[in-house]
Amino acid sequence: MSDTTPANTSFNALPLSPALLATLQQLQYLTMTPIQAASLPVTLAGHDLIAQAKTGSGKTAAFALPLLTRLNPRRFAVQALVLCPTRELADQVTQEIRRLARFEDNIKILSLVGGSTLRPQMASLEHGAHIVVGTPGRIMDHLDRGSLKLDALNILVLDEADRMLDMGFNDDIVYVVKRCPPNRQTLLFSATYPEGIDRLARQFLHEPTEVKLLEKHEGSKIRQRFYEVKHEERLQAVATLLKHYRPVSTLAFCNTKQQCRDLLEMLHAQGFHALTLNGDLEQRERDQVLIQFANRSCSVLVATDVAARGLDIAQLEAVINVDVTPDPEIHIHRIGRTGRGDEDGWALSLGSPADKRRISAIAQMMGDEPEWHTLGSLQSGNDSPLVPPMVTLQILGGRKEKIRPGDVLGALTGEAGFTREQVGKITVTDQTTYVAVSRGIAREAVRKLSAGKVKGKSVKVRALEN
């Protein structure tokens, strides 16, 4: 088990082709992230690997680089397979591999995920693919139908393995792995290391090297405080914290779905703009929640660890642990989502007297004494409601209608007369486009967009409010 970073973190030290090195430079990947520095020498040498590091640490490139290096583009067969838990994550991985594969224009990377019809995927497979990224269920379907063959496979990657297990994919994974050639290289990536992972690894990996980066977050960026609460005060305490700290975006973790529902109800009742992520949402609804949260038009996102795994949100002022998790690694992973880059972040946790031992253990693991505060010490002076700075507008029509972000920006800043600064993130999905605008102009923007045209056509527009 290695927990040290090699001194040389330049990609140039690795046996990568000049073209691949040039691509990395173009992408501004100047130095390896710690997980890349620890795992690339191992994987490029052909060894099996178990790697554990938190979300956003650069795990995709850690497996994409060996995968692209081993690939023979002249051989028309699937040479690498990446299993991911969700369509969303599979899409992210596909995009990242495509960016890294830019140096070779004839590498075909295919995403095979549920939620879209099988037939077009089968047609794409017939045209040949070098790398397949997919969700376990869908990959299994294609194996069953004979549309996907794995006999030329060199590398198998299990990405976000912990989450795949959480989602009940164990049997599907076993089914798929058993159809891979036995002499392949297997790489397993995970943000946490629950017991099931060990079982998978023992079954399917061959003398793997283990790389585990338990990141100690820089204390200066994440400010961690614990608040003692009685059981019955817990939900109300979240509102008190939000009113006191007034973060623009907060991710609130609960240990159970029921707690998520209760908290959401309480927050709505008190006028907060809050949304929740849970496994019951359809993909389209989930996308919509994430878009609203990421573009700063929703103050609080309430989620369980399972629902939030893999989420990478750039600007997050606070993480609130409504329930403290029993697993210190999960705790560290949760709070590591705030205080990214140069921003400071608050990690606020609620603990009952019964949680105290657990919290001491967590703090000890982070090399700290827990800093306890009381709710009574919080200013309740500012009672004005916490309002997100932006509002998300939903425009019916998306990629299918050939709408691009520039069309929407053009419509808002052109005829409608708004400034660029009043327009936030624009996200175009297949059938819908989302644009964030400053709260103050939301109503007028809906009116003007509805009256005018986007890409030469009238469009239906509404503001999403939560």
- The residues of the shown chain that bind Mg ion, judged by CB under 5 A, are 59
Work out what residue 32 binds among ligand ADP, Mg ion, none; the CB cut-off runs from 5 to 8 Å by kind. ligand ADP
Smallest distance, ligand ADP to C-beta of residue 53, A: 6
- Please say whether the beta carbons of 165 and 309 come within 8 A: no
Residues 299-328 that bind ligand ADP (CB under 6 A): 312
- Candidates 51, 61, 298, 303; binder of ligand ADP (CB under 6 A) is 61
**Binding residue for ligand ADP, selected from 14, 23, 29, 224, defined by CB under 6 A:** 29
Which residue matches tokens 């403290």? 324
Q: How far apart are the first and last CA of the chain?
A: 46
Cα–Cα separations (whole angstroms), residue 414 to 24, 395, 434: 37, 17, 18
Strands 461-464 vs 390-396: parallel, antiparallel or unpaired = antiparallel
Q: What's the min distance (Å) between Cβ of 233 and ligand ADP? A: 35
- Give the C-alpha distances (Å, rounded to integers) separating 428 from 278, 408, 413: 23, 10, 18
**In the complex with ligand ADP, which residue's Cβ is closer, 316 or 442?**
316
- Among positions 201-230, residues that touch ligand ADP (CB under 6 A) are none
Stretch that binds ligand ADP, among 31-39, 125-133, 139-147, 320-328 (CB under 6 A): 31-39
Residue 278, token pair as written in the block: 């849970």
Give 121-125 contacts, CB < 8 A, sequence gap 24+. Answer: 121/147, 122/147
Window of 49-57, 281-289, 290-298, 417-425 that interacts with ligand ADP by CB under 6 A: 49-57
Return the residue nearest Mg ion (CB atom).
59
Closer residue to Mg ion in complex, CB, 59/333 = 59
Q: Name residue 284's beta-bridge partners.
A: none
As a whole number of Å, the CA-based R_g of the chain is 23
- Give yes or no for residue 58 binding ligand ADP (CB under 6 A): yes
Q: For residue 390, which amino acid is it?
A: M
Structure-token match 């527009």, residue found: 461
- Choose between 243 and 340: whose C-beta lies nearer to ligand ADP: 340
CA 405 – CA 390 distance, rounded (Å): 17
Subset of residues 89 to 108 that bind ligand ADP, contact rule: CB under 6 A: 96
Of the residues 47, 59, 296, 331, which one makes contact with ligand ADP according to CB under 6 A: 59
Nearer to ligand ADP, 157 or 229 (CB): 157
Using CA atoms, how far apart are residues 173 and 167, in angstroms rounded to an integer?
11
Within 13 A of 457's CA, how many CA atoms are on the CB side? 11
CB of 58 to Mg ion, least distance (A): 9
Q: CB of 304 within 8 A of CB of 254? A: yes
Q: Determine, following the binding rule CB under 6 A, whether residue 32 of this chain makes contact with ligand ADP.
A: yes
Q: How far apart are CA 171 and CA 384, in angstroms?
A: 51
169 vs 226, which CB is nearer to ligand ADP?
Answer: 169
Strand partners, 157: 82, 187
> Is the CB of 59 or the CB of 331 nearer to Mg ion?
59
Please say which residue, 99 or 439, places its beta carbon nearer to ligand ADP: 99
- What is the closest distance, in whole angstroms, from the C-beta atom of residue 149 to ligand ADP in the complex? 28
CB-nearer residue toward ligand ADP: 96 or 323: 96
Residue 61 Cβ vs Mg ion, minimum distance, rounded to whole Å:
10
Q: What does 184 interact with, of Mg ion, ligand ADP, none (CB < 5 to 8 A by kind)?
A: none
Check residue 33 for interaction with ligand ADP (CB under 6 A).
Answer: yes
Q: Which residue has tokens 């700075």? A: 389
Residues 6+ away with beta carbon under 8 Å from 337: 55, 56, 251, 311, 312, 313, 316, 319
Q: Provide the minimum distance between the beta carbon of 202 and ligand ADP in the complex, in angstroms, as a whole number.
A: 24
Q: Where are the alpha helices (DSSP H) in 188-323?
A: 195-204, 234-245, 257-269, 283-294, 305-308
- Smallest distance, Å, CB 13 to ligand ADP? 13
Q: Does 23 bind ligand ADP (CB under 6 A)?
A: no
240 is in the binding site of which of Mg ion, ligand ADP, none (Cβ under 5 to 8 A by kind)?
none
Residue 91 or 104: the one with the smaller Cβ distance to Mg ion is: 91
Q: Pick the closest to residue 174 from 139, 129, 209 (CA basis).
A: 139
Show the tokens assigned to 444. 């007028």
CB nearer to ligand ADP: give 23 or 325: 23
- Binding residues (CB under 6 A) for ligand ADP: these are 29, 32-33, 36, 53, 55-61, 96, 312
